[in-house]
Each structure stands twice: as C-alpha cells, then as structure tokens.
Amino acid sequence: MKVTIIGSGYVGLVTGACLAEQGNQVFCVDVDPKKIEILNSGGVPIYEPGLKEMIERNRAAGRLEFSTDIAASVAHGEIQFIAVGTPPDEDGSADLQYVVAAARNIGRYMTTAKVIVDKSTVPVGTADKVSAAIAEELTKRSLSPELCSVVSNPEFLKEGAAVEDFMRPDRIVIGTESTPSGLHAKEQMRRLYAPFNRHHERTYYMDVKSAELTKYAANAMLATRISFMNELANLADLVGADIESVRQGIGSDSRIGYGFLYSGTGYGGSCFPKDVSALSKTAIEHGRDLKILDAVEAVNEAQKYILVEKIEKRFGKDLSGMKFALWGLAFKPNTDDMREAPSRVIIQELVKRGADIVAYDPVAMPEAKHCLDADFKGNPEGLKKVAMVANPMEALDACDALVIVTEWKAFRSPDFELFLQKMKRPVIFDGRNLYEPQAMQEMGIEYQGIGRHN
C-alpha cells in the first residue's frame, strides 16, 4: 500500500520505517529541511536501537523516501498518517497547531479519496477538528468532504524499544466512525495492519473518541503506578522497610503485576509529563477535576528532588568544593531523550549548592549539552561547573560521591575495586536501585537507594 507519514520525528520515523519493512511504499515528509537532509544523507536525527539499520535497508530497497514536498506527499499516500508533535501549551493542554496545519495541507492538495490517520497523541475531539480543517479546504475547492475519513490510531511505543513494540505490538487500537467512509477506512486499516495480526488478532476496533482517550488513559495509568511506588519508597525510607521486597510482594499478585512498579527519581520524557497534564486539562474543560492525576504530577515533580535531599542530608546544604560523579543523563536508558529528564533538575540543584558535576551517559551527552546550555542560560558560571567525560569510570576521579540517575545496563556491574580506588569517598546515591545495599556494605561502600533498607 502507498502510505504517507507527515512528520519525521520519533513517532513518524518509527512508523514509516516499520511500515516500509512490511513492503509498503512509504513517503515521509517534514517541514524541517535540515531533518530531511540528515535522513537523505544516511543519518537519523534521533537515537533508537535498530531504527537506523531499518531505515537504511528500506531506503536501499526503494520503499522509503524523505522529502519536504507537501504536495507530493499528499498525492502519494492513500493513507495519510499525521505524526507531528503535540507539545504542551502554556496551560498544560496539548498544542494542536501542527496537527491542524497538517490537516489543512492534506485538504489543500488532495484530489482523490484519502484515509487520514491521527497517529500523534491528541486529546479527545481532535479527529473532529482534523475533519473540519480538511473539509474547509476541500469546500474552498468545491470538492466533497466525503473524500476523506479520519481515523484515530494512537501509538504505544516505548522509547528505547519502539521498533520492537511496533513490529510485535501487544495491541493495535483503531478508532473509526460507522459511516460509509468510516467503514472504508476501517477496511483500509485492516489491510495495512494485516501482517501484524498473522498469528493472532491484536487489533481493537472502537469509535474515534474512545481510541483517542485510550492513549491518554494508558499513559496516565503507567504514570500513576510510578508515582504510587515512589510514594511508598519514600515511606519505606522513613519506616525502615525495603521497597524491593514490597515490590515483589505486591507484584506477585496477578491483579497487580510487576510492570512499572520500580521506584526512582520520577518519570520524564516526551509522553508521560505532557499526556498526564493534557488529560487533566481535558477533564477541567468538561467540568471535572481528576484529583488522582493532579497528585501523580505533584508526586513526580517532588521525586526529581529526592536524591538532592539525600545528598543534602548527608553532606549539608553547602556543597562548595565538592565534586559529584553522575551516571545517566537521558530520562531512561536506550534513548538520548532529555525532555523532562530528572538529571536536569539534579544537576541544577547541586550546582546551585556549589557542587561540581562530572557526568557520563552512553548516548545522551550531545543532547544533554544542548539542554544544559538552555537550563543554565544567564548563568555561565554555573554551566562551567558541569563537565562530561568519555567513560563512566573517568567520571569517578576524586569525587565525593556517585549519583546514579539512569539505569543503563552498562552501570549494572561496574568494577567496584576500581570504584574504591578512584573515589575520594566511597558513597553512592542510587536513584534507580541498581545494587543490593547489603553487598555494597560488605564492600565498604556507603549506599543510599530509593526506599532500600540496609
């Protein structure tokens, strides 16, 4: 099938590459010429395991192309995916200007029937706005709005495992209307996703608004589990319990399960923070206050400071003259995404208290440098107190403590003998509970996790 992907960011690139991998002819368009130049020269503007190789393979096979030509992109695809950004607006709601702009471009250039697919994460009611924008453009050209049907097909991709998630999905959600054009769109989507349903049916068909709400509900539930466990971990610290034992005890209940029950320094990234906020905003617009989600956001914001509080309790409020190694900058492993990353808060707070930071991350350091330049704008002296090094052990030289922020696999089994040699003080503040407190104690390492009892 001929498919157009509007937006060559995270969701668009993964969607386009994976659909091309199934033999479809995919045209990816973006208004950013620099991004398209990178893609056409063999680069990939984001880090995602397996994505670069998949893009290279399908470009070589002639199934995947990148362009800034909007008219050509509309002409190409019988199915048009809208996969543009929906950043948070000032009031926390999702900013739909790029979604609506994409819809207008489709309406401006289309001449034959199209299925329009909202792949971006959008609030309930967005499909109506997309339909209205396209209809307005079609009417200007004396064409029937019946030429298009809008589908909601939310993505459920985990950064760091997005290619695997797309190729082997646990569910495919498709929202269509029960009109003739909606039934046609449903059949087109069924054909498109048929290769992903060969072994068993993974597709859930529903109405458009239910599909739109499903995406937000899923992310809100996962964010809630994270904040709930962080609340319990902080309590475990106070009462002398071990949150890891608690996690195993409750996770073994089949009604609860183990997923997203790990305590840490809070969630970040491009999805959970903005989606929880947008869902709360949608509720407010309809006269409803989602109190649980308000608490989830408040807990998560406070959790980003938990390691700073532990460091302050151990060393005092004035950290002048002290140096801290920091392992992990990205908000999670297997990505270079620094959006809402807890590391950004931790670095700024430690520098504010006078500390020097020596940081390492396997892939996120270039993006981190860009983000920290923005975070320390107006404070060049503060920025000078943050250095980045080529390997994790180099970061430890003469440091007063190690702060672990991201749970990269490379940090799970370090050379602790070398650690003891390099550190000024053998102290670890572990924001991801990578190590066992008893084992650290036996090696002579002072260890503080999140809710871990020595």
Size (the chain), residues: 454
| DSSP per-residue codes, 32-74 | -HHHHHHHHTT--SS--TTHHHHHHHHHHTTSEEEES-HHHHH
Backbone angles phi, psi at 262, to 5 degrees: -95, 130
Calculate the dihedral angle through the C-alpha atoms of 58, 62, 64, 65, rounding to the nearest 10 degrees: 140
Q: What percent of the chain has pLDDT over 70?
A: 100
CA separation, residue 447 to residues 28, 238, 251, 389, 440 (Å): 49, 16, 25, 23, 6
User: Rounded distance, CA 22 to CA 279, Å?
Assistant: 34
Confidence of residue 57 (pLDDT cuts 50, 70, 90): very high
Determine what percent of the chain is predicted with pLDDT higher than 90. 93
Say how far apart CA 199 and CA 101 lie, in whole Å. Answer: 38
Residues 140-184: tens digit of each pLDDT:
999 988 889 999 999 999 999 999 999 999 999 999 998 888 899
- Phi-psi region for residue 180, left (φ > 0), alpha (ψ -120 to 50) or beta? alpha
- Mean pLDDT, residues 24-38 taken together: 97
* pLDDT tens figures, 209-263: 999 999 999 999 999 999 999 999 999 999 999 999 999 999 999 999 999 999 9
Q: What CATH number was assigned to the domain covering residues 217-302?
A: 3.40.50.720
Tokens of 349: 């707070």
Residue-wise pLDDT tens digits, 1-23: 999 999 999 999 999 999 999 99
The single-letter DSSP state of residue 409 is G
Q: Which long-range contacts (CB under 8 A, 24 or more apart) does 96-102 make?
A: 96/122, 96/123, 96/126, 96/129, 98/7, 99/126, 99/129, 99/130, 100/129, 100/130, 100/133, 102/6, 102/7
Check whether 89 has a pLDDT greater than 90: no
Residue (of 70, 85, 81) closest to 30 by Cα position? 70
pLDDT digits (tens, 9 = 90+) for 360-404: 999 999 999 999 999 999 899 999 999 999 999 999 999 999 999
Give the pLDDT confidence of 108-145 residue by residue, as tens digits. Answer: 999 999 999 999 989 999 999 999 999 999 999 999 88
Tell me what pLDDT residue 91 has.
77
What pLDDT was estimated at residue 77? 97
CATH fold of 304-448: Rossmann fold (3.40.50)
pLDDT tens-digit series, residues 284-296: 999 999 999 999 9
User: What's the pLDDT score for residue 362?
Assistant: 97
Task: Say which DSSP state 112 is in.
Answer: S
Residues involved in catalysis: 271
Q: 32: closest CA among 98, 106, 76?
A: 98
Mean predicted confidence (pLDDT) in 321-347: 97
Q: What is the pLDDT of residue 15?
A: 98
Nearest to 76 by CA among 101, 105, 47: 105
Evaluate whether 217-302 and 304-448 have a shared fold. yes
Residue 326 has pLDDT above 80, yes or no: yes
| Contact of 83 with 15, CB cutoff 8 Å | yes
| Under 8 Å between Cβ of 77 and 27 | yes
Min mean pLDDT across 198-207, 226-235, 303-312 is at: 198-207
User: CA angle 136-140-141, nearest 5°?
Assistant: 120
Angle between helices 208-239 and 272-285 (to 10 degrees): 120
Identify the band that residue 454 occupies on the pLDDT scale cut at 50, 70 and 90: low
Q: Using DSSP bridges, classify how beta strands 172-175 and 203-206 pair: parallel, antiparallel or unpaired.
A: parallel
- pLDDT value of position 270: 83
SS3 318: coil
pLDDT for 92: 78
2-206 to CATH, choices 3.30.1660.40, 3.40.50.150, 3.40.50.300, 3.40.50.720: 3.40.50.720
Percent of the chain as helix, strand, coil, to the nearest 5? 45, 15, 40
Other C-beta atoms closer than 10 Å to the C-beta of 85 total 18
Over 90: is that where the pLDDT of 200 sits?
A: no
pLDDT at 90: 75
Cβ partners under 8 Å of residue 15, min gap 6:
5, 81, 83, 119, 155, 166
- Does residue 95 surpass a pLDDT of 80? yes
- How much is the mean pLDDT over the chain? 95
Distances (CA, A) of 121 to 7, 63, 178, 274: 13, 26, 22, 10
Residue 366 sits at the vertex; the CA angle it makes with 360 and 372, to the nearest 5 degrees, is: 80
- Order across the sheet with 64-67: list the strands: 64-67, 25-29, 2-6, 79-82, 114-118, 148-152, 172-175, 203-206
Contacts of 385 by beta carbon, 8 Å cutoff, 6+ apart: 351, 355, 356, 357
What are the extents of the domains in the chain? 2-206, 217-302, 304-448
> In the predicted model, is pLDDT for residue 64 greater than 80?
yes
Contacts of 158 (CB under 8 A, 6+ apart): 165
87-109 residues labelled b (16+ CB within 10 A) or e (exposed): eeeeebbbbbebbbebbebbbbe
Residue 88 pLDDT > 90, yes or no? no
Question: What type of residue sits at position 339?
Answer: R
